């Protein structure tokens, strides 16, 4: 049971998060329009806006240019106030990028992952690259809200890579290693989930509340977005559709079973079948973000967390955003 003051504090945090996200998505926007959209009173909006300006998260950018009545000051997200690090730890290549608060890539470094090398070397190279990219960007560490990592295989909610068949790894606590090294929030998720998140926020999934993102490469994986959020399911393996048997008499799969989706399906075959089932419900939208899709999604794992109420709690309690 929460104390009344606890409830008030929670409401305050939810309202701050609501206003911040509205400015991020709909800005430039006036205080009056924020009040109208959120149904919060003008004075509540005004207090929250003052707080967000003081935290450097939003800024005033001049007046509305047209319309009847008095002109209002517009507010927008200060996208340069803070940054996120995105990592795409791929089987062949690794990309490390820094994005602004809107998930736009500001700088990136790429190198061959070298999955034949041992685990320690791969992790050591990743830590070194993160240090180097921050150093060369000139961005201060306290301006970085977190690190998001997109990695292959099955990953738990703490960021431990439980099973990574492509690398031959098991139980690698990558999230823990990065947190210990950099002392900032770290979020590790499956790479197809990161791609689905990137498409949801910035790409073909914008404005679509519920969709399934299917990635067809060497394997087949899916990312499920429900109500605009990634859906992980009970064991964090919702998208692991590649080894679902579709034909018991089909060819042998690398997992030992027969006729898995992964050995049966190709991109064109899926498209053809989906359209033949129902042209009405099956709409296939190609990836719109290209090569940076995964790394943008990875950075957004950290950004999305920052914009949630749990992180707004941190804003109000600490002197800085961290
Ligand atoms: Zn299989």
* pLDDT greater than 70 at residue 279: no
* pLDDT greater than 50 at residue 234: yes
More confident residue, 135 or 255: 135
Whole-number Å distance, alpha carbon 248 to ligand 1 midpoint, is 11
Write the DSSP assignment of 74-122 as a string of letters. EEEE-TTS-EEEEEEE-SSEEEEEEE-TT--EEEEEEEE--TTS-HHHH
The number of C-alpha atoms within 13 Å of 202 and in the hemisphere containing its C-beta is 25
* pLDDT greater than 70 at residue 130: yes
Whole-number Å distance, alpha carbon 263 to ligand 1 midpoint, is 7
Whole-number Å distance, alpha carbon 187 to ligand 1 midpoint, is 28
Whole-number Å distance, alpha carbon 179 to ligand 1 midpoint, is 34
For the chain, domains (ranges, CATH) are 2-78 (1.10.10.10), 83-195+294-305 (3.30.420.40), 202-293 (3.30.420.40)
The confidence band for 307, taking pLDDT boundaries of 50, 70 and 90, is low
Whole-number Å distance, alpha carbon 167 to ligand 1 midpoint, is 17
The confidence band for 177, taking pLDDT boundaries of 50, 70 and 90, is very high
Whole-number Å distance, alpha carbon 293 to ligand 1 midpoint, is 26
* pLDDT greater than 90 at residue 129: yes
Whole-number Å distance, alpha carbon 250 to ligand 1 midpoint, is 11
Of 12-21, 28-37, 67-76, the one with minimum mean pLDDT is 67-76
Whole-number Å distance, alpha carbon 239 to ligand 1 midpoint, is 14
More confident residue, 317 or 202: 202
Give which of 184, 177, 175, 180 is closest to 314, Cα–Cα. Answer: 184
Predicted confidence at residue 252, as pLDDT, reads: 79
The confidence band for 214, taking pLDDT boundaries of 50, 70 and 90, is confident
* pLDDT greater than 80 at residue 282: no
The confidence band for 53, taking pLDDT boundaries of 50, 70 and 90, is very high
Residues, beta carbon < 5 Å, ion ligand 1: 243, 253, 255, 257, 260
Q: How far apart are CA 109 and CA 97, in angstroms?
A: 6
301: left (phi over 0), alpha (psi -120 to 50) or beta: alpha
Predicted confidence at residue 287, as pLDDT, reads: 64
Whole-number Å distance, alpha carbon 194 to ligand 1 midpoint, is 23
More confident residue, 114 or 156: 156
The confidence band for 316, taking pLDDT boundaries of 50, 70 and 90, is very low
Q: Which class for 284: exposed (0-12), middle (13-18), buried (19 or more C-beta within 10 A)?
A: exposed
Whole-number Å distance, alpha carbon 252 to ligand 1 midpoint, is 8
* pLDDT greater than 90 at residue 297: no
Predicted confidence at residue 255, as pLDDT, reads: 78
CA 297, 228, 84, 290 torsion: positive or negative? Answer: positive
Q: How far apart are CA 226 and CA 233, in angstroms?
A: 11
Report the chain's mean pLDDT, rounded to a whole number.
84
More confident residue, 179 or 164: 179
Most confident of 31-45, 110-124, 252-266: 31-45
Predicted confidence at residue 207, as pLDDT, reads: 85
Predicted confidence at residue 2, as pLDDT, reads: 44
Whole-number Å distance, alpha carbon 42 to ligand 1 midpoint, is 57
Whole-number Å distance, alpha carbon 165 to ligand 1 midpoint, is 12
Whole-number Å distance, alpha carbon 170 to ligand 1 midpoint, is 18
Predicted confidence at residue 168, as pLDDT, reads: 87
More confident residue, 62 or 96: 96
Query: Does residue 158 sit in helix, strand or coil?
Result: coil
Whole-number Å distance, alpha carbon 191 to ligand 1 midpoint, is 19
Whole-number Å distance, alpha carbon 98 to ligand 1 midpoint, is 36
Whole-number Å distance, alpha carbon 260 to ligand 1 midpoint, is 5
The confidence band for 3, taking pLDDT boundaries of 50, 70 and 90, is very low
The residue to which tokens 């399906």 are assigned: 265
What is the rounded average pLDDT of the residues 66-90?
A: 86
What is the rounded average pLDDT of the residues 48-71?
A: 82
More confident residue, 289 or 164: 164
Indicate the length of the chain as a whole number.
322
Residue 87 pairs in a beta bridge with: 96, 149
Whole-number Å distance, alpha carbon 91 to ligand 1 midpoint, is 19
Of 24-28, 34-38, 96-100, 307-311, the one with minimum mean pLDDT is 307-311
The confidence band for 313, taking pLDDT boundaries of 50, 70 and 90, is very low
Most confident of 25-29, 53-57, 147-151, 283-287: 147-151
Q: How far apart are CA 267 and CA 274, in angstroms?
A: 11
């Amino acid at each position: 049971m929460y104390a009344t003051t606890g409830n008030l504090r929670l409401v305050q945090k939810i309202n701050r998060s609501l206003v911040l996200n509205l400015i991020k998505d709909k800005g430039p926007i006036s205080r009056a329009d924020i009040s109208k959209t959120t149904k919060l009173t003008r004075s509540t909006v005004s207090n929250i806006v003052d707080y967000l300006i003081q935290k450097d998260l939003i800024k005033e950018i001049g007046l509305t240019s047209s319309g009847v009545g008095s002109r209002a000051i517009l507010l927008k997200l200060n996208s340069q106030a803070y940054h996120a690090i995105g990592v795409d730890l791929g089987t062949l290549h690794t990309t490390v990028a820094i994005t602004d608060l809107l998930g736009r890539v500001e700088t990136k470094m790429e190198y061959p992952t070298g999955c034949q090398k041992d685990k320690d070397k791969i992790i050591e190279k990743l830590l070194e690259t993160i240090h180097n990219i921050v150093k060369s960007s000139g961005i201060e560490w306290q301006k970085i809200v977190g690190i998001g990592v997109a990695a292959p295989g099955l990953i738990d909610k703490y960021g431990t890579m439980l099973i990574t068949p492509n690398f031959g790894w098991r139980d690698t606590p990558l999230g823990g290693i990065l947190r210990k090294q950099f002392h900032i929030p770290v979020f590790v998720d499956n790479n197809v989930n990161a791609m689905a998140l990137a498409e949801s926020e910035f790409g073909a999934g914008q404005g679509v509340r519920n969709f399934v993102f299917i990635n067809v490469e060497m394997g087949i994986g899916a990312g499920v977005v429900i109500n605009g959020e990634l859906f992980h399911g009970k064991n964090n393996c919702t998208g692991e559709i590649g080894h679902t048997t579709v034909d018991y008499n089909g060819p042998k799969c690398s997992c030992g079973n027969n006729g898995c989706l992964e050995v049966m399906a190709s991109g064109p075959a899926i498209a053809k079948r989906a359209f033949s089932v129902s042209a009405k419900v099956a709409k296939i939208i190609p990836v719109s973000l290209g090569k940076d899709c995964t790394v943008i999604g990875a950075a957004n794992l950290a950004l999305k967390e920052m914009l949630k109420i749990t992180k707004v709690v941190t804003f109000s309690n600490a002197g800085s955003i961290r």
